[in-house]
Chains A and B, each alone.
Chain A
Amino acid sequence: MDTQLLFYATIILTALMGIVLGWVAISYRKLIEKYDKIRTSAQEAEKALEQQRARVLEEAKVQAKQIVTEAQTRSGQLISEAASFGNQTKELLGSELNKLQAVELGYYQKALEETKLQAQASLGGISKDVRQEVVRQIDAVRIGLTGEIQKAQLETRQMLSASYKKMEDEIEAYKAERLKRVDETIFEILKDVSAKAIGKTLSLEDHEDVVVKALEDAKKEHVL
């Protein structure tokens, strides 16, 4: 019983699944068709847009060309006008400057002439005095210098004499010192040589005698 029920239930479920699968398949097919349609329309729209863009670009190019041509024409006109104006201005300025220069030059030449005349008049008056003053000053300097030179010569001579005298004195002192040292050295040598020579000539007994004599003297002098 249960087996039969299970069998029928299975068949019913299988049938239901078949119905569902069929519905799904149909829906899927419809969806794909819809997608194809949309894709086609999108491609067409894109193509149309591309064509429109090309057309606009072409129109823009033509317009730009026209604008450039017009601009070139206009600028050529402007340049020619400007050149014409520059030349006119230059000529005008040149003539004005020449005029001004002539006037200024006249003024300067006049002023220069006047200054020259004034200077000649002034210098002519003082040149004599200046010459006399300069000569006087030079004479004074010459006299002063002669005196200074004589004075310097005298001082130098005196200084040299003093130095020479001092040097002579120092040499004399040095000689005396050296002689003194030589004397001392001679005496030192004499003393040592004598002492050693005498010492060597003495016999042992003589030496003993001298030592005993020394001890006697020490006793007399209360050293012992």
Chain B
Amino acid sequence: MPKKNMYSELNRLARTEEERESLKEELQVLSASLYEREGAFEQALAYKVRPTTGETVKKLLVEGKVSDRAKFFEEAAKALESLKILELTIAFDPKGQSIERIWQWVRRNVGEGITLKFSVDRSIGAGAIVVYKGKFRNYSLKKLLEDYFAANRQNLIDLLA
């Protein structure tokens, strides 16, 4: 019987929404290979999924002493579905390093079981618009400037006059 917390390892492979979707597809491929000819599963682990995915799955199966692989993949799919989504609108296109840094911060400071959903809007200048569990907050540079101009409107008019 696989342990529930063992699926948190999979969260590392599903840091963003896109990664989660890819991982779900890979797990489906591996699960389907269980019902094919002998040796199909090992072949799928080696060639049909990303190396990191193959290694992580192999490690989890060994460390968890999993005997029912079909059950394992079923539980893994459920665990991926249950990940909470943190939506971030930012002013740049995040790549590997940036994603890792932000995701690590979230993991340490907010908790496990979260996947990031990035949107890019360069008009916000910098910062982020955050949406999480139905809460919304704008921490963008654009909002900062809006607040500043609203507060100092008359001073600015005098300055421009």
Contact = CB atoms under 8 A, between A and B. Distances in A.
Interface of A: 183, 186-187, 190-192, 194-196, 198-199, 202, 204, 206-208, 210-219, 221, 223-224
B98 A196 contact: no
A3 B88 CA distance: 160
Contact of A210 (B109, B130, B141, B145): B141
B121 to A, nearest CB: 10
Chain A interface, DSSP helix/strand/loop, else mixed: helix
A199 B141 contact: yes
A195 B145 contact: yes
Interface string B84-125: 001010111000001001100110011000000000001111
Nearest to B124: A195
A47 to B, nearest CB: 141
B128 interface: yes
Contacts of B126: 195, 198-199, 202, 206-207, 210
B145 A194 contact: yes
A208 B97 CA distance: 10
B114 to A, nearest CB: 9
Given A207-B90, A214-B130, A223-B130, A192 B106 contact: no
A196 B140 CA distance: 11
Nearest to A217: B139
Contacts, number: 94
A210 B127 contact: yes
A208 B100 CA distance: 11
Given A213-B127, A223-B132, A207 B142 contact: no
Interface residues of B, number: 35
A221 B153 CA distance: 27
Contacts of A206: 126
Contacts of A191: 142, 145-146, 149
Contacts of A198: 125-126, 141
Contact of A214 (B98, B109, B128, B145): B128
Nearest to A190: B149
A211 B88 contact: yes
B98 A208 contact: yes
A198 B124 CA distance: 10
25 contacts: A187-B153, A192-B123, A195-B124, A195-B142, A198-B126, A199-B141, A202-B126, A204-B98, A207-B98, A207-B126, A208-B101, A210-B126, A210-B127, A211-B88, A211-B90, A212-B105, A214-B127, A214-B130, A215-B102, A215-B106, A216-B109, A218-B137, A223-B135, A224-B86, A224-B109
A5 to B, nearest CB: 143
A27 B35 CA distance: 144
B160 interface: yes
A60 to B, nearest CB: 134
A10 B126 CA distance: 163
A212 B105 CA distance: 8
Contacts of A224: 86, 106, 109-110, 130, 132
Nearest to A199: B125
A217 to B, nearest CB: 6
B70 interface: no
Contacts of A194: 125, 145
B156 interface: yes
Contacts of B62: none
Contacts of B125: 194-196, 198-199
Of the candidates B109, B136, B141, B146, the one having the most CB atoms from chain A within 10 angstroms of its own CB is: B141
A215 B130 contact: yes
